[in-house]
Amino acid sequence: MRPILKAVCRAAVAGFIGLTAPAHAQTPVKSPTLDAVKKRGELVCGIDTGIPGYAFQDSKGEWQGLDVAYCRALADAILGSPTKIKFIGTTSKVRFSVLASGEIDVLIRDSEHSFGRNTALALDEPAVNFFTAQTFMVKKSLNVKALKELDGATICVLTGTTLETNIADYNRANKITIKTLLFDKPEEAFAAADSGRCDGYTDDGGSVAAARSTMKVPADWTFVPETIGGLSPLGSFTRQDDPAWTRLVKWVHFAMLEAETLGITKANAAQMGANPTDPDVRRFFGLEGNFGQLLGVDNEWSARIAKDIGNYGEVYEATFGKGGLGLPRGMNNLAINGGLQFLPTWH
């Protein structure tokens, strides 16, 4: 073909693509919360006031824990750095009011996903980061084998939680009376249980393990095998008026599960992302597809999470597993390994 005709054809094709490209480009993700976070340059994350395993400050004053890791992953995905966060510690009494009022962007505070919170409190429940059940911790010397033996006993509980409701239901169903003593803060409840004011302490499985680690003689305490209230899925909460934000929080959790499924850890992330051939790994590292932009962030969001935070298994082991409170993976393993943590397909 003659050079001028070639150039004209190329220009026409480029122009044609240029005109039709906007039709393929994504409509920008509309999310007031995401826009506010980007504008502020900082994520405001609601966490617990200080409980081993979920959210606690180490000797240097840095926040560590499972919930904290999720906050950092979210900040990393949106803003590119896991440290651009403001942590707001919330008590069990005020956590949902603080979220509903807009003071925090997301609540990741070992809170149970329940019907009432989804409907009456108008909150969305994006992801479950810890499956557990309400467990009772009593002194070994009391020799309690079954929960019904606790008839007449006094148990320390935190106020404003589903724990009270579960005990009330259990009492009614079994016609016994387990008395409760309500505390505002976990430290006060732990101190009362340790001093003997109550016969035991009850909370979700993770918090009870955390409580035992703070007792004067942890070996004196044992967990009653029977749990009440059924399965207790703990996870993040967002406001119901921002579905795009809820989606983003949900997929940050799934990104951490996908990293574990693909075998990507914090240590090998850089190496695995160098020249991947596996299409799943390529999609994870943003080399193929538009996953980030469809969520409102850039395409390296999941790669950053894997490099800076790690995958779900790593975070779990460091906080609740061998590096932390010593609980087995159990229900919190991936579904392919026999646990309850599943995720949709990554394409």
Partner 1 sequence: MIHRPSPRARLGQWLLLAGVAAAGWYLVTTAGDNLARRHTSFGFGFLADGGNFDIPFHLLSWAVGDSYAWALLVCTANTLLVSAMSIVAASLLGLVVGVMRLSTNWLVRNLALWFIEAIRNTPQLVQIIFWYTAVLQTLPGPRQSIVLPFGFLLNIRGFYLPSLDFGSNGAAIWWLAAFAVLAPILAWRIPLRRGRVGAKALALPLLACVAGATLVDHVSYPLLRGFNIAGGIQVPPELVALWAGLSIYGAAFIAEIVRSSIQAVSHGQREAALSLGLRPSQVLSKVILPQALRMMVPPLTSQYLNIIKSSSLGAAVAYPELFEIFAGTVLNQSGRELETIFLLMAIFLVINLLTSAFMNWYNHRVALVER
Enumerate binding residues for partner 1 (CB under 8 A). Answer: 92-93, 96-97, 100-101, 116, 120-122, 142, 150-154, 159-161, 164-165, 167-169, 171-172, 179-184, 188, 191-192, 195-197, 199, 241
Return d(Cα 27, Cα 241) in angstroms, integer.
Answer: 19
Which C-beta is closer to partner 1: that of 75 or that of 150?
A: 150
How are beta strands 106-112 and 228-239 bridged, if at all?
antiparallel
Tell me the closest approach of the beta carbon of residue 104 to partner 1, in angstroms: 15
Tell me the closest approach of the beta carbon of residue 246 to partner 1, in angstroms: 15
Tokens 């597809």 belong to residue: 289
Contacts (Cβ under 8 Å, ≥6 apart) of 173: none
How are beta strands 123-124 and 154-158 bridged, if at all?
unpaired
Tell me the closest approach of the beta carbon of residue 195 to partner 1, in angstroms: 5
Tell me the closest approach of the beta carbon of residue 296 to partner 1, in angstroms: 22
Whole-angstrom CA distances from 328 to 186, 201, 310, 313 are 23, 21, 19, 11
Tell me the closest approach of the beta carbon of residue 317 to partner 1, in angstroms: 33
Strand ranges (E), 22-164: 43-47, 56-57, 63-64, 85-89, 106-112, 123-124, 128-139, 154-158
Tell me the closest approach of the beta carbon of residue 23 to partner 1, in angstroms: 35
Cβ–Cβ under 8 Å, residues 256 and 316: no
Q: Which of 274, 139, 262, 230 is CA-nearest to residue 193?
A: 139
Tell me the closest approach of the beta carbon of residue 52 to partner 1, in angstroms: 22
Q: Which of 280, 31, 256 is CA-nearest to residue 127?
A: 256
Which C-beta is closer to partner 1: that of 111 or that of 261?
A: 111
Which C-beta is closer to partner 1: that of 133 or that of 181?
A: 181
What's the sign of the alpha-carbon dihedral 256, 259, 261, 264?
negative
Bridge partner list, 106: 45
Tell me the closest approach of the beta carbon of residue 127 to partner 1, in angstroms: 22
Return d(Cα 45, Cα 47) in angstroms, integer.
Answer: 6
Both tokens of 63, joined, read 């926040």
Which C-beta is closer to partner 1: that of 70 or that of 96?
A: 96
